[in-house]
Amino acid sequence: MNIHDTIAAVATPPGRGGVGIVRISGTEAEAIARHLFRTDGPLTSLASHRLYHGRIHSPETGEPIDEVLLVLMKAPRSYTGEDVVEIHGHGGPVLLRTLLAEILGAGARPAEPGEFTRRAFLNGRMDLAQAEAVADLIDAHSAPAATLALGHLEGRLSRAVEGLYARTTDMLVLLEAAIDFGEEGETALDAGALAARFGEILEDLRTLLGTYAAGRVRREGFRVVITGRPNVGKSSLLNRLLGEERAIVTPFPGTTRDFIEETLLIEGIPFRLTDTAGIRTPEDAIEQAGVAMVRRRLSHADAVLLLLDGSMPLTPEDEALLGEMHGRPTVIAVNKADLPHVLAEDRLHAFRPLHPPLWISAKTGEGIDALKALLYAASCGGEPATRDGALIGNLRHKLALEAAKTHLERGGEALERRVSPEFIALDVRDALQSLGEITGRTASPEILDKIFAGFCIGK
């Protein structure tokens, strides 16, 4: 990848639409635009950040390709920090392909995935956490996810991390001063004051890390696996929650062999519901594979919705499942509340559920609103945002913060043992390395390649 090339790509999604946009970025962007663009009157200059109406013409034939609006955004006041031209034409796939081909023929090259945003990062228009937020904002599947991404794009997380970075740098300065001048007696290391600084930074690090559960739920959704023995009404419950006939329902056990996954919004949070095969002793190889798949899904779930049949007593299979759920975040729902209540609730107390069993009816809808409220409460178990509103929801950020915390804890312990400042400084430098990976101060080219490869072309 040559970052000095002029690049171009279609910036709007594939398909037909009222408007389609082609974006050009680089030193030749304005020259390429002038080569292709014609107006009804004379065009002596292109003023920055002003829309011009005209047509794109083929230089070879002179024939018009499309009627467009064109805008030039001069560096550095553009998305990439370079000269950027956007051509707003009609959103037909053929028109956009033709327009892009003319731009490439005039001297640009096709942009790689995320290359516009990568240039914005390299040119100092945004840091790495903000660049990642661009992709998150585009990919957001709910309003909370979009709000979280927009906060990151505006620098909320970056400011929190940069604050930690600056304070950690101040500690390193003190340590290096003690290393350089300690033997001359000019700079004595105040171990007590430095220990207090370690403690304050670590406290704020832990607070920020504590927001990951809540941030991840907003960013990715909350994974709920519906489980239970066969024929308790799991598929009927999924259909009731979704408000549509998504899963096949029959009176015969073992109808669901594979899993069905759908998304339900509750209070703006996407819940990724998975309807699974009933867990029992498998009768054939296919059912055995289905049960094995259920157990894998359970191991990755944020919460389990365990369904029981209230029209009959607990069975050994029910009791085995209740035992398996010990230690897992589990919501217990007792289905078929529209039938005589036969299941004895006191039998459930021995399994120490987190809440009283909730009676519902997948058939009539009784208790479904209360069940949604329980699921929503289960999703809100994460810590609230920090004082400045920062939340983390990206695993990469979490791992970097955990690494920084580990290094600072090690440095603080070394300080308590009165280890030489040189060794404490090594831990502090490692912490800075980890913090810098979040905003891109210390991110390697390999990290950048991995992040931007996940972007769409044109962004």
The structure tokens listed for 308 are: 């029981």
Residues 306 and 227 sit within 8 Å (Cβ to Cβ): yes
In which band, very low, low, confident or very high, does the pLDDT at 363 lie, cut at 50, 70 and 90? very high
Higher pLDDT: 252 or 191? It is: 191
| Angle at CA of residue 317, ends 316 and 318, nearest 5° | 90
- The closest of 316, 315, 278, 272 to 294, measured between CA atoms, is 278
pLDDT digits (tens, 9 = 90+) for 153-174: 999 999 999 999 999 999 999 9
pLDDT digits (tens, 9 = 90+) for 270-313: 999 988 765 545 454 555 555 666 667 777 888 899 999 999 99
Least confident of 202-216, 318-332, 378-392, 410-424: 378-392
Residue 50, pLDDT above cutoff 70: yes
pLDDT digits (tens, 9 = 90+) for 131-152: 999 999 999 988 999 999 999 9
Q: For residue 258, what pLDDT is reported?
A: 54
The structure tokens listed for 146 are: 């979009």
Residue 384, pLDDT above cutoff 80: no
pLDDT digits (tens, 9 = 90+) for 185-215: 555 678 899 999 999 999 999 999 999 988 9
In which band, very low, low, confident or very high, does the pLDDT at 356 lie, cut at 50, 70 and 90? confident
Residues 188 and 117 sit within 8 Å (Cβ to Cβ): no
- The closest of 120, 129, 188 to 154, measured between CA atoms, is 129
Across residues 219-234, what is the average pLDDT? 89
Residues 210 and 383 sit within 8 Å (Cβ to Cβ): yes
Residue 379, pLDDT above cutoff 90: no
Longest dimension (CA), the chain: 87
Percent share of the chain, pLDDT over 90: 62
Within 10 angstroms of residue 355's Cβ, the number of other Cβ atoms is 11
> Which residues have CB under 8 Å from 94's CB, separation 6+?
none
- The closest of 311, 250, 300, 302 to 278, measured between CA atoms, is 250
In which band, very low, low, confident or very high, does the pLDDT at 249 lie, cut at 50, 70 and 90? very low
The structure tokens listed for 273 are: 């519901």
445 by DSSP, 3-state: which? helix
Backbone angles phi, psi at 111, to 5 degrees: -70, 145
All domains of the chain, ordered by start, with CATH? 7-126 (3.30.1360.120), 132-211+387-440 (1.20.120.430), 222-379 (3.40.50.300)
Q: For residue 141, what pLDDT is reported?
A: 87
pLDDT digits (tens, 9 = 90+) for 6-48: 999 999 988 889 999 999 999 999 999 999 999 977 777 889 9
Average pLDDT over the chain reads: 88
Residue 377, pLDDT above cutoff 60: yes
Residue 255, pLDDT above cutoff 50: no
Alpha-carbon 369 to chain mean position: 28
Place of tokens 């013409």: 57
> Which residues have CB under 8 Å from 330's CB, separation 6+?
303, 304, 305, 306, 353, 354
Beta strands in 41-111 (DSSP E): 51-57, 64-73, 84-91, 109-110
Higher pLDDT: 325 or 331? It is: 331
Q: For residue 429, what pLDDT is reported?
A: 97
The pTM of the whole model exceeds 0.85: no
Higher pLDDT: 325 or 98? It is: 98
Residue 240, pLDDT above cutoff 70: yes
Q: Give the amino acid at 61.
A: T
> Which residues have CB under 8 Å from 191's CB, separation 6+?
415, 418
- Between CA 426 and CA 432 the distance in angstroms is 10
In which band, very low, low, confident or very high, does the pLDDT at 180 lie, cut at 50, 70 and 90? confident
> Which residues have CB under 8 Å from 142's CB, separation 6+?
218, 221, 265, 268, 269, 270
Higher pLDDT: 386 or 162? It is: 162
- Between CA 23 and CA 21 the distance in angstroms is 6
The helix (run of H) or strand (run of E) holding residue 89 is strand 84-91
Residue 443, pLDDT above cutoff 70: yes
| Angle at CA of residue 70, ends 69 and 76, nearest 5° | 145
Residues 11 and 22 sit within 8 Å (Cβ to Cβ): yes
In which band, very low, low, confident or very high, does the pLDDT at 256 lie, cut at 50, 70 and 90? very low
- Between CA 30 and CA 43 the distance in angstroms is 13
Q: For residue 252, what pLDDT is reported?
A: 41
The structure tokens listed for 387 are: 């004082």
Residues 104 and 98 sit within 8 Å (Cβ to Cβ): no
274 by DSSP, 3-state: which? strand
Q: Give the amino acid at 195.
A: A
Across residues 440-444, what is the average pLDDT? 92
Residues 70 and 39 sit within 8 Å (Cβ to Cβ): no
